[in-house]
Amino acid sequence: MQNMNTLMIPEEGVDKALLLEQMRARREEDINWHGHRAFSLVFHQNDAHAEFLKEAHGLFFEGNGLNPLAFKSLKQFEHEVVRMTAALLHGNERTVGAMTSGGTESILLAVKTYRDHARAHRPWIRNPEMVVPASAHVAFDKAGSYFDVRMVHAPLDGDLRVNVDSMRRLITPNTIALVGSAPCYPFGVVDDIEALSDLARAKGIGLHVDACVGGFLLPWIERLGYPLPPFDFRVPGVTSISADLHKYGYAAKGASVILYRGMDYLRHQFFVQVDWPGGVYASPSIPGTRPGGAIAAAWAALMAMGENGYLQSAATTMETAARFISGINDIPGLRVLGTPPASVFAFTTTEARLDCYAVADLLALRGWHVDRQQRPPAIHLMINPGHQQVVDQYLEDLRQAVDQVRRHPEIAQSGSAPAYGLLAGVPARRLVAKNVLRMMESMYGPQGQTPNLSGPVPWPARLLLRLGGLFRER
């Protein structure tokens, strides 16, 4: 076997059937999302819908959205996806936007756009800042790092929504925009978008609503009669919204939409270069090449599901989430955090001797893919329609895990639980970041190493690879 450092393209092509067999074998090592044992990373409507998306994607497999004049079909698909999304989120004829590769790119573009909008309208700002909730997705921090915009984090209230008064106090002459979540990823609660709108308008700055999770779910549950305060373009201070199609829109990955109230913002998202020897270059988003399959499949998903399909899916999802939440709250020692209005939530333990990470370890041993959170220690769930098949089994396994940890609290000193506790409690966050960086260097270095978690692995690598929060959905 070749050393991975010297792995080379084979001199002769390998038989395609054999390659597909090898690929299927490797896939067996992935999480069991098809058995509904995972609560993130994959949003699966049903097998028939997935097969339809594969076919739609395949029709435009070699298409490239980079050139809308060459691929007019893709430009039309994108235009119609943007218009349908704008209508869903109560935009109007002036609402504009573009498709992106996912929520992270949508957020990156929003931050870049607000930065450049400020450069054009408030050029005296040299050190731009955005005020975001402490629960805002980490993609905002990533965007701030990329585009040199400081993210100022506002604390949360007891209901886990951002404290609006704190946001007001954190605004400075350098503030270029505010952010609210609908809902936030960690706890599934919707920030007070109307109050943030009033604040943004009073200060003359933009307000971005991160609806990457909720953009294709909240409108449907509102129509189903669930109480939900306005979060979209009905709120006058909202100037942009990000919404992921490949989550509750049930499109193929990766597909998201970034919308703006008007072209005055979107024009600052565009990149144009007219002096390149290769010709005039213009791009609406970060990539150059834009895979046509994802654009086409997103359009196909919206058209195939239809309003009734999304309403039925949302109804099943919400009923299933209610069963999970009720069942978790009925287990002594557990509590769902906040009052999430949708199907994204987290729960924690309420007894000092009942270690949340030990419970998570036991769930993992029972075959569940567990997303662990910190501050506070918690287990995170995102419910899809297929999870209705596993509610009872999950709750029974959870009940047994809680009972086992309660009877044997020493379990918290084994497995990955003590390392999780250590991570959450380490005050020197640079030490944690240093270990994360080392792990990433190992994974993406010449060896491409992913430590075997069942073997003798140093605790930082074991911890960080098992930490569901290390790779958050976007």
Residue ranges, comma separated, of all CATH 3.40.640.10 domains in the chain are: 58-303
The pLDDT of residue 38 is 82
DSSP characters for 405-450?
HHH-GGGGGSTTHHHHHHHHH-S-HHHHHHHHHHHHHHHHSTT---
- Report the SS3 class of residue 349: strand
The pLDDT of residue 426 is 52
Q: Let me know: does 177 contact 114? Beta carbons within 8 Å.
A: yes
- Tell me the CATH number for domain 351-470: 3.90.1150
Computed over its alpha carbons, how large is the radius of gyration of the chain? 23
The pLDDT of residue 424 is 54
For residue range 94-142, list pLDDT tens digits in order: 999 999 999 999 999 999 999 999 999 999 999 999 999 999 999 999 9
Average pLDDT per 10 consecutive residues for the chain, totaling 474 residues: 67 91 88 80 85 91 80 89 96 93 96 97 96 96 97 97 97 98 96 98 97 96 95 98 94 93 93 84 87 92 95 96 97 95 94 91 92 91 94 96 90 59 55 66 60 45 47 56
Tokens of 452: 């075997």
State pTM to two decimals: 0.86
The pLDDT of residue 456 is 41
**Exposure b/e, 244-260, CB count within 10 A at least 16 = b:** bbbbbbbbbbbbbbbbb
Encoded amino acid at 56, one letter? A
Q: For domain 58-303, give the fold.
A: Aspartate Aminotransferase; domain 2 (3.40.640)
For residue range 11-26, list pLDDT tens digits in order: 889 999 999 998 999 8
- Report the SS3 class of residue 288: coil
Residue ranges, comma separated, of all CATH 3.90.1150 domains in the chain are: 351-470
The pLDDT of residue 462 is 46
Distance CA 345, CA 236 (A): 28
Distance CA 214, CA 342 (A): 8
The pLDDT of residue 60 is 85
User: Which is nearest to 192 in space by CA: 223, 219, 167?
Assistant: 167
The pLDDT of residue 409 is 83
Q: Let me know: does 139 contact 189? Beta carbons within 8 Å.
A: no
